[in-house]
Amino acid sequence: MPNVIDFREGTDAVLTTATQLDGLGDEFARIYTSLYTLIESDLAQNWKGEDADAFRNVAENQRPVFESMREVIGEYATFLRQTANAHEARMQDSRSASNQVTF
């Protein structure tokens, strides 16, 4: 079953998920940065030749993919925050409008 957030409980769960995504995105960036550090230093020093150059070129060509993935994770966290804020604003508008109703 998909991960579902019930807005009837408020927006805290959505904001918590956004914060968790930011943390995961940061961890993802740290890991792929560490990978590239290893490729550019230790691997480059210990593996020479055409096959090593080919591997490093392929890895380097994939760097934008990792960077894009990190960006998408951040954008999704931002989307969740914006969604939660918009929902909270609509809930506040509804509460304000309800206070105007008389019977």
Digit-coded pLDDT (tens) for 82-93:
999 998 888 888
Residue 36 lies in a domain: no
Residue 84 has which token pair? 């939660």
Residue 64 lies in a domain: yes
Q: What distance in Å separates the CA atoms of residue 81 and residue 41, rounded to the nearest whole number? A: 39
Residue 59 lies in a domain: yes
Residue 64 has which token pair? 């934008």
Residue 77 lies in a domain: yes
Residue 6 pLDDT greater than 90, yes or no: no
What's the chain's average pLDDT?
Answer: 90
Cα→Cα distances 84→10, 71, 99, Å = 9, 20, 23
Residue 44 lies in a domain: no
Residue 47 lies in a domain: no
Tell me what the mean pLDDT of segment 38-61 comes to: 95
Residue 71 lies in a domain: yes
Q: Which residue range forms the structural domain that includes residue 81?
A: 13-21+53-89
Residue 26 lies in a domain: no
Domain count across the chain = 1
Of 39, 70, 42, the closest CA to residue 57 belongs to 39
Tell me what the mean pLDDT of segment 65-70 comes to: 97
